[in-house]
């Protein structure tokens, strides 16, 4: 888990996964990083038995800092 940050005296929580460029890195996969579905805000989960997608619903207020 990512610890909350203190920004302008307010406790702020990081949501999602902090790395967004896939397992190969930025330099090796330059120009193709947008195609990697790694670290999206809402992860896709597939049922291992039936391969049925399951999505975890949540509500957050996203603001530019």
Separation CA 34–CA 31 (nearest Å): 7
Average pLDDT along the chain:
66
Q: Lowest-pLDDT range, 6-15, 16-25, 55-64?
A: 16-25
More confident residue, 20 or 46: 46
Domain total of the chain: 1
pLDDT of residue 10: 92
Question: Helix or strand or coil: residue 28?
Answer: coil
Q: What is the dihedral of CA 12, 15, 20, 22, to 10 degrees?
A: 140
Domain that holds residue 28: 1-65
Instruction: Report pTM.
Output: 0.31
Q: Residue 52 in contact with residue 43, Cβ under 8 Å?
A: no
Residue 22 has pLDDT above 60, yes or no: no
Q: How confident is the model at residue 52 (pLDDT cuts 50, 70, 90)?
A: low
| pLDDT given for residue 17 in this prediction | 59
């Amino acid at each position: 888990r990512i610890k909350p940050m203190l920004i302008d005296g307010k406790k702020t929580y990081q949501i999602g996964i902090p790395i967004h460029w896939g397992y190969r890195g930025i330099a090796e996969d330059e120009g193709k990083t947008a195609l990697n579905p790694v670290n999206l805000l809402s992860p896709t989960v597939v049922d291992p038995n039936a391969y049925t997608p399951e999505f975890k619903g949540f509500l957050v207020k996203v603001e530019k800092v």
